[in-house]
Structure 1
Amino acid sequence: MVEIEKIQSFAISNDPKDASGCGIFGIFNTKGDLIDGNKIVSAIDIMRDRGNGLGSGYAAYGIYPEFKNYYALHLMIDDDLAKRAVEDFLERRVMVAERSGIPTRGMKNRKRPMFFVYFVLPRAQGTKAESEYMSETDADEFINKLVFFINENINGAFVISSGKNMGIFKGIGYPDEIANFFRIERYKAYCWTAHNRFPTNTPGWWGGAHPFGLLDWTVVHNGEISSYGANKRYLEMHGYKCTQKTDTEAIVYLADLIVRKHKIPIELLAKIFSAPLWEEIERMPQDQKKLYKALRIIYGRALLNGPFSILLTFKGGIMALNDRIKLRPLVVGKKDGVYYFSSEEAAIKHICSDIKDISSPDAGEPVIARLTDEAYNVYYGVQDEED
């Protein structure tokens, strides 16, 4: 009896800053074959003890083929007043091809917001004032500004994802509860990520659950970004507003700024987030030393300090990355063109028992998987050079 009580005391931690808190999982099929939603739920739920019921979520790519050329705005809305305000705003600024409630099931004894999806494209503005407010010719930048306006100015409404042919589903609950609520088993995707949350310094609320998204970017994160203050101020200098009350959202905004706007390759983004130590840079060959010094100087405030492991997804690809000292676990497996990313090896083997190629990436070294050219063309058309 004494031994059983001892085991239970270790199984349930009373420390709100549990070092192993949060679990992440991702599946990516490079051939573009669709993966059933039940598989990602089974994988993340096996790491149930990494969360405490204060947040879980899923990101899925390739789920809206009939509207693949439209931005799929997933909105979390508190009440009918907020819904009317959002729809009035959208009617003036975008063409809405389709709108509907996101299919959900009930949740017992839990207050929850409403969820809607709007498939939209930018359009020419109707009045001079509106044209001056949003005159961006670039469609991504137009939607970017639209998302931030809603999140900052319309009370009771948040855009939780805004990319093409993808969506985020998240809320308060354990992974199986959120999967059941959003009917995740209905969806099939070529890329899935999932998160089981154990919040430390930020509140547990529906919008604060992971993944976080902007345009085609999403991120799930285990750890703590101690550089959040510096990252946030740097982002605000470039017009981004952190409104979700958590450090993780800064990661997705930094990716959008550095890769989409500054045209820095995703491989170098990893070296900005998990920058080599100065003493390591000094030992590099001259060409590398020059490059990494420039990255540290120019993007010093985009460095992610603190312990973390992240899965950063984007149009046609995914990147797994640890902090530069590897203070959080990250395991990667590969079999038949499918990549598996996890906080624990057990979760990978739970859904792919015969996998052989499993490793733990070195600190600060990214693992990047992309769709084949053929698969990319199916989902997104011919790839642009800047993609």
Structure 2
Amino acid sequence: LNRAEVDGVGLLKHCGRLPWVARCGSGLSRGQGRFPTNTPGWWGGAHPFCLLDWSVVHNGEISSYGINKRYLEMFGYKMELQTDTEVVAYLFDLLCRRHRLPFEVACRALAAPFWKDIDRMPEEEKAVATSLRQVYGSALINGPFSFIVATGGMMAALTDRIKLRPMVIAQKGDLVYMASEESAIREIAPVLDRVWTVRAGEPVIAELGRGIVQ
């Protein structure tokens, strides 16, 4: 079994005790206890939200959903699952799989720096950031959000550009933890080697066998 996603109603610890789930082993796993506020609560919008080769857990809301949706529809994507998280999965698929952007570059496009910050960058970095804003302006995700996205053997955490939603990273040995709150991580691993918060709009990327790579 290469990949399995479990959506259930109840506490995460109870879902994890399902017999077939307990037998699965994985080097990379995601989970979320979620109470939807602006979208219908149904299994199609449950988290982890999985489409194609992307899995997303998301805290907050995507206020740019309308323009992101119209942008994706230009490339043949259809939003049908009644959740703003859907655009996150499709945007990563578009930029990384179809446009072949490196993952970290795609993150810079989706949570692009403000123009005032771009103006203060060194010339080479400024040119790249300007190009991303110009080419992928309609892919820019706005709103208070933090999310964890995974594909293959990689998992990454990203917040909005002014960090209106929290995101914490921790390490214990060769294990990497990502969560909205440190308390959630310490519920699993009370003793940690290192704990830090994600900087606004800058991804933290971890890969199987390599740990934190950015």
Contact 1:333 1:340 in 2 (8 A): yes
- 1:141-220, aligned counterparts within 5 Å? 165-180=2-17, 183-220=20-57
Could you tell me which of 166, 175, 192 is aligned with 1:355?
192
Q: Which amino acid aligns with 2:5?
A: I
Does structure 1 residue 367 correspond to structure 2 residue 204? yes
Cα pair 1:193 1:220 within 8 Å, conserved = yes
Match of 1:312 among 149, 172, 176: 149
User: Alpha-carbon deviations, 1:174-219, whole Å to 9, x = none?
Assistant: 4345445574222211100001112111110111111122232111
Counterpart contact for 2:61–2:144, Cα < 8 Å: yes
Q: Which runs of 4+ in 1 moved over 4 A?
A: 180-183
| C-alpha contact 1:331 1:361 (8 A) present in aligned 2 | yes
Work out the CA distance in 2 between the residues paired with 1:290 and 1:182: 53
Partner Cα separation in structure 2 for residue 309 and residue 364 of structure 1: 9
Helix, strand or coil: the match of 2:7?
strand
In structure 2, relative to structure 1, the CA distance for the partners of 1:302 and 1:182 (3 Å cut) is: farther
Higher helix share: 1
Structure 2 CA distance for partners of 1:182 and 1:221, relative to 1, 3 Å = farther
Q: How does 1:1-387 map to 2 (within 5 A)?
A: 64=1, 165-180=2-17, 183-372=20-209
* TM superposition score normalised by structure 2: 0.93
Deviations 1:90-124 (A, max 9, x none): xxxxxxxxxxxxxxxxxxxxxxxxxxxxxxxxxxx
Give yes or no for contact 2:173–2:193 (8 Å, CA) kept in 1: no
Conserved? CA contact 1:171–1:205, under 8 Å: no
Q: Counterpart of 1:222 in structure 2: which amino acid?
A: N
Distance 1:295 1:339 in 2: 29
Distance 1:343 1:307, change over 3 A: same
SS in 1 for 2:198: coil
C-alpha distance after superposition, 1:223-244 (max 9, x if no partner): 0000001111111110111111
TM-score, normalization by structure 1: 0.52
RMSD over equivalenced CA pairs, Å: 1.5
Could you tell me which amino acid in structure 2 is paired with residue 323 of structure 1? D
Gaps of 5+ in 2: none
Q: Distance in 2 between matches of 1:276 and 1:315?
A: 27
Q: Which runs of 5+ in 1 are unaligned?
A: 1-63, 65-164, 374-387
SS of corresponding position for 1:189: coil
Contact 1:216 1:315 in 2 (8 A): yes
Provide the C-alpha distance between the structure 2 equivalents of 1:173 and 1:355, rounded to a whole number of angstroms. 27
CA displacement at 1:353 relative to structure 2: 1.9
Deviation at 1:352, TM superposition (A): 1.5
- How far has the Cα of 1:372 moved from its partner? 3.0
| Bigger RCO (CA 8 Å, 6+ sep) | 1
Letter in 2 for 1:208: G
Structure richer in strand, relative to its length: 1
Partner Cα distance (2:67, 2:11) in 1: 31
Instruction: Check whether the contact 1:172–1:205 (CA below 8 A) recurs between aligned residues.
Output: no
The one-letter amino acid of 2:152's match is K
8 Å CA contact 1:208, 1:246 repeated in 2:
yes
- What SS does the aligned partner of 1:358 have? strand
Q: Distance in 2 between matches of 1:182 and 1:255?
A: 33
